[in-house]
Chain A
Amino acid sequence: QKEVEQNSGPLSVPEGAIASLNCTYSDRVSQSFFWYRQYSGKSPELIMSIYSNGDKEDGRFTAQLNKASQYVSLLIRDSQPSDSATYLCAVYYTGGGNKLTFGTGTQLKVEL
């Protein structure tokens, strides 16, 4: 099993809809979970961090973490064309070298 898995997409949603992005991770000592947004030709930008089970909301973004199911998701409400980007899930693992491991990313397209 890959350490961090995401559906590559593209995920297409109409403008104003809720976009739901999902990520699963392997059963290792994981500490922190992150969502990065990457526009084409740009570097990743940290948009959400979550560390404990449950939901964390920041503006139109909600991150959800379920450690029992090894599952983290990102919801984007009222999706805008400017949200079109690749979203990278990252997990910070401790043990065997503390480091951030990235998924392959999900491409989101918000259509007018």
Chain B
Amino acid sequence: SAVISQKPSRDICQRGTSLTIQCQVDSQVTMMFWYRQQPGQSLTLIATANQGSEATYESGFVIDKFPISRPNLTFSTLTVSNMSPEDSSIYLCSVEIPSAYNEQFFGPGTRLTVL
């Protein structure tokens, strides 16, 4: 597996502002992912963040709203821009450990509340 940390662990933000979430992993990984988990819901993939290329966004998620950086093989950021209360959610990063089995491991998550 891998040791994954996220900052901040939680935040309360005002409508219209932006928040950048950081994800750090203790080993070099090619594939990093950002998910959203809304209250009482399952996980929804926002985008795949690959080092050295643009992030690949899933349907319903756009770069202007959720810009992602991936400057190296151990770090990524997700920004939630121009926030509204509907963005209140848990944001999770995950990494895929190189193997034949595509196993993903999750960070502890960032709990975001937008007022």
Interface residues, chain A, with chain B CB atoms under 8 Å away: 31-32, 34, 42-46, 49, 51, 88, 90, 92, 97-105
Contact = CB atoms under 8 A, between A and B. Distances in A.
Interface stretch (B42-50, B62-70, B80-88): B42-50
B32 interface: no
B42 A46 contact: no
Closest 5 CB pairs of A and B: A43-B106, A43-B109, A104-B42, A102-B43, A92-B102
A46 B104 contact: yes
A89 B67 CA distance: 28
Which residue of A88, A97, A98, A99 has the most chain B CB atoms within 10 A of its CB atom? A99
Contact of B101 (A43, A49, A104): A49
Range for the number of chain B residues in contact with chain A: 20 to 34
A95 to B, nearest CB: 13
A51 B99 CA distance: 13
B92 interface: yes
Given A92-B102, A99-B48, A102-B42, A43 B56 contact: no
Given A104-B41, A105-B42, A31 B56 contact: no
B103 A44 contact: no
B102 A31 contact: yes
A70 to B, nearest CB: 18
Contacts of B101: 32, 49, 51
Nearest to B105: A46
Nearest to A4: B42
A42 B45 CA distance: 17
B45 A100 contact: yes
B109 A98 contact: no
A98 B105 contact: no
Contacts of B56: 97
Nearest to A6: B42
